Amino acid sequence: MFGLELDRKADKTYAAFSTLGCVALNPTGDKKDPLGFVETMRRGTNATSASFAGAEQDGAIVLHAVENIGVSEALQGCEITAMTLRPFADSALSVKLAGKAKAARLPGR
């Protein structure tokens, strides 16, 4: 799960707020310890949030994290340190994330 709110300021800079839920594809934990496994999966579904600031650069919007929230509670950190937004297909964005998260494609509105 990835959500992004983007706000263009009057001076042509941007502010953004994201939510990101990281799920482990290969959950860790001992199968002999079901409670530990459940805790691992719970931490994998905790959403993290981040605030960003940035500007347009080479036809893209480049954002850098101001603050990451809830990262210590997430399974594998799941922090985003920066992101680059570019137009993709019809009414969509390509989002390249930097940090411990992977890239995503977002449908447009």
40 SS3 class: helix
Within 13 Å, how many C-alpha atoms sit on residue 63's CB side?
A: 27
pTM higher than 0.85: no
Could you tell me which residues come within 8 angstroms of residue 68 by beta carbon, excluding any fewer than 6 positions away? Answer: 48, 49, 50, 79, 80, 81
The predicted structure's pLDDT at residue 11:
93
- Asked if pLDDT for residue 102 goes beyond 80, the answer is no
Flag the least confident range among 21-25, 48-52, 61-65, 77-81: 21-25
Torsion, CA 17, CA 74, CA 47, CA 16, rounded to 10: 10
The predicted structure's pLDDT at residue 34:
75
The closest alpha carbon to 3, from 95, 100, 81, belongs to 95
Token digits of residue 40: 């691992």
Label residue 103 by pLDDT band (50, 70, 90): very low
